[in-house]
Amino acid sequence: MNHIFGRLVAAASLTIPACPALATQDTQESGWISQAWNTATEHVSTTWDKGDIELYLPIYTWHLPFAYTPDQRSSYTEIPGGFGLGKGRYNDSGNWEGIYAMGFRDSHGDPSFMLGYGWIPTWNVSDTDVKVGVGLTAFFMSRQDYFGGFPFPAVLPIASASYRNLSLQAAYVPGGKGNGNVLFIWGKWTFN
């Protein structure tokens, strides 16, 4: 299991040396890339420094019925188990930002690992402690059925409903008939 996390960290670190080289080019595109990279690293760094510790518990993997036959759906793992840890915070705009690492069973029951960053613009529901939001998560994932377990990058839409320290979050994996079209749901508790 440690070698999987090592692969995730190695894959993430491969992107770091390439980006400063892009910043030295005198093109408008490289200036934009450099600025985007600096903004992203600032957000991640601030979240790491100022964020609260968060516990992630994968709850359910729903294979949408229109994309799978009943036999396919009955053969898949729906209760992913596992857990994750992260650091998250609400920024000055009231939007949630978080860094996380999660391990769980994929649809075939094999170990799967994620290391990522999420950003969710949130809105308060009336005058309550309830917040809802929709945003994006960018991550590296390791699955045995993709690239032999070598980590690969992905970006998915993510939604959240929170009451005080407890959140229910979900990411949608798009796809076609018999692949993708999965809703991955987890709970998150923020310690503060």
Is 30 catalytic? The answer is: no
Is 107 catalytic? The answer is: yes
Q: Which is catalytic among the residues 30, 63, 74, 167?
A: 63
Task: For Cα atoms 114, 182, 188, give the angle at the middle one, nearest 5 degrees.
Answer: 50
Q: Which is catalytic among the residues 106, 160, 162, 167?
A: 106
Is 63 catalytic? The answer is: yes
Is the dihedral angle over the CA atoms 176, 180, 183, 188 positive or is it negative?
A: negative
Residue (of 80, 31, 90) closest to 59 by Cα position: 80
Q: Which is catalytic among the residues 3, 26, 107, 126?
A: 107
Contact 191, 165 (CB under 8 A): yes
Residues 6 or more apart whose Cβ sits within 8 Å of residue 126: none
Cα–Cα distance for residue pair 185/62, rounded to 1 Å: 8
Contact 103, 85 (CB under 8 A): no
Cα–Cα distance for residue pair 13/182, rounded to 1 Å: 28
Would you please indicate which residues are annotated as catalytic (active-site) residues?
63, 106-107
